[in-house]
């Protein structure tokens, strides 16, 4: 039976591996590590059939998106770098 939490759990399953792929050089990697542990605990609790609160899952999901968004800003854009080289910046 599909509960109201199912879409949240599916999203957490998608987001968790993305946190793993953050560069260890990123300032966000350390923060992501603790968050990832929290997400894994949620997935384990769900598998065990333990009750979960939608508000808690929503907080974790929002924090995950924040970290992923901020860490993505650190990824260099090769096109932008080439453009700057051409302009002599």
Predicted pLDDT at 2: 58
Domain span at residue 43?
A: 6-87
Alpha helix ranges (H) inside 1-89: 6-20, 27-47, 54-72, 78-87
Give 1's pLDDT tier (boundaries 50, 70, 90): very low
The percent of residues above 90 in pLDDT, for the chain, comes to 55
Residue with the larger pLDDT of the pair 76 and 21? 21
Predicted pLDDT at 9: 96
Residue 1 in any domain: the answer is no
Q: What angle do CA 56, 7, 31 make, to 5 degrees?
A: 45
d(CA 89, CA 85): 6
Predicted pLDDT at 14: 96
- Do 26 and 54 touch, CB atoms closer than 8 A? no
- Report the domain count for the chain: 1
Predicted pLDDT at 29: 84
Residue 75 in any domain: the answer is yes
State whether residue 64 is helix, strand or coil.
helix
Mean pLDDT, residues 50-76: 92
Burial class for 19, CB neighbours closer than 10 Å (0-12, 13-18, 19+): buried
């Amino acid at each position: 039976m599909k509960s109201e939490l199912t879409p949240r759990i599916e999203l957490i399953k998608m987001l968790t591996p993305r946190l793993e792929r953050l560069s260890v050089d990123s300032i966000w990697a350390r923060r992501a590590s603790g968050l990832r542990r929290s997400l894994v605990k949620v997935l384990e609790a769900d598998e065990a059939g333990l009750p979960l609160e939608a508000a808690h899952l929503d907080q974790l999901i929002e924090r995950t998106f924040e970290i992923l968004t901020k860490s993505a800003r650190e990824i260099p854009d090769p096109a932008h770098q080439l453009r700057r080289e051409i302009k002599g910046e």
